Chain A
Amino acid sequence: MSILKRHFDNRNDLIAYVKELAPWAEGNASQIPGGQRECKKRLTNLNAVKYGKTRNHGNGSVSMLSPYINHGIITLNEVRNHVVKDSNDQKSIETFIRELGWRDFWSRFAENNQNLLWNDVEDYKTGYESDDYEDELPEDILVGDTGVSCVDAFINDLLNTGYVHNHARMYLASYIVHFRQIKWQAGARWFLTHLLDGDVASNNFSWQWIASTFSNKPYIFNLENVDKYFNGIVDTTRSKNRVLDASYPTLHNRLFPNLEVQNG
């Protein structure tokens, strides 16, 4: 047992110190800093109304508060109170408050269903059984070299910053489970290692929502959708994202051949 240091000359010294404490830990430090002041800054800059209108876009007005909420630097109650006291129009802040609700919903469900955090809540609704999916992530995904440009860019965010836009998380999870046919658990474990806001309940049940083991159907996406929301942020050139370049019915029929054929 020893008392650890509390004073550092600069952030690099702190990073070196933590690295020495945990030589087994993967990767490098993120540019996103921890701390109360950073949390307050984000809370002050939060624009819940703008969030509601732009949140699906890669450059949308997202709060970036999730790492701070996850580590209890601020609570859901405090964030909600901050937003509500400045608003006299419930409708305009509804999207933001509902997103906080998702976190509360997952946490409540987890509290009563700890055994389902790592097990399928329901069967896959993809025409496949759980055993049809691979157990581990392959190397190309782990290092962000899948050859699908936008997917690699999102993986790069995950590995370097520990933060991925929520819409991009859905794309990544869908790519892993449905395009590569890998168990959601492998992706969920990987996200928890790297995401600064990685919370097992929100993370794992969101993966299950994408996988269809905790929703009514699998979530899939195509290049047109990525281009609509992330144009100019990631490379959406067709030749560099071929596997995603198809209509929804075409992708549905390709990815889920055991399900009823979709026309369109």
Chain B
Amino acid sequence: MADKLLLVHDKALRSGLDVYEASESFKAVHIWDDEYYRTQRYSLKRLVFIYETLLDLPLEIIHGNTLDILSGENSDHIVIPYSGDQVLKTLFSKIEKIKTVQYLFETSFVNLDRTVEFKRFFKYWNQAKKTAFLINGDRGA
């Protein structure tokens, strides 16, 4: 029986998530949340694109409200691929109030301190290009 739940949202529709392979301990779901999609104001083009991609992934597509569904789940541990999307981040913080959340982070594109802020692209690029041409951004191939 799955003791963790992987919540796959529309900004992380990749099959390469390692946790899919841990099917013994993970249950993977996408929640088709009307309120979320309406907030994002996606057109039908975008929704069809998302649904079509979901069909390639080993997960269950559940229709309903994200918080209601997660509240009813036995698992206390929710694994979520991190996203900086504003609407998703608001949702994540609501989930954190009812469950223990563990985020999965993508390998960074470049090896740069995230706290350093660049206000113009050329300043960013002067630093970023040192690792942008390296496999895994110099984080070990």
Contact = CB atoms under 8 A, between A and B. Distances in A.
A262 interface: no
Contacts of B101: none
A115 to B, nearest CB: 10
Instruction: Sort chain A's interface into a size bin.
Output: 35 or more
B41 interface: yes
Interface of A: 1-6, 8, 11, 14-15, 17-19, 21-22, 24-30, 32-37, 67, 70-78, 80-81, 84-85, 90, 93, 97-98, 100-102, 104-105, 107-114, 117, 121, 161-162, 189, 192-196, 198-201
B116 to A, nearest CB: 9
Contact of A198 (B34, B46, B89): B46
Contacts of A85: 135
Contacts of B108: 77
Contacts of A27: 43-45
B109 A77 contact: yes
Interface of B: 10-16, 32, 34, 37-38, 40-53, 55-56, 60-64, 68-69, 72, 81, 83-86, 89, 106-110, 112, 114-115, 117-119, 121, 124-125, 128-129, 132-137
B63 to A, nearest CB: 5
A33 B135 contact: no
Contacts of A24: 38
Given A18-B44, A77-B137, A84-B135, A32 B49 contact: yes
A24 to B, nearest CB: 6
B44 A25 contact: yes
A22 B89 CA distance: 23
A17 B47 CA distance: 11
B92 to A, nearest CB: 13
A5 B51 CA distance: 10
A77 B45 contact: no
A101 B109 contact: yes
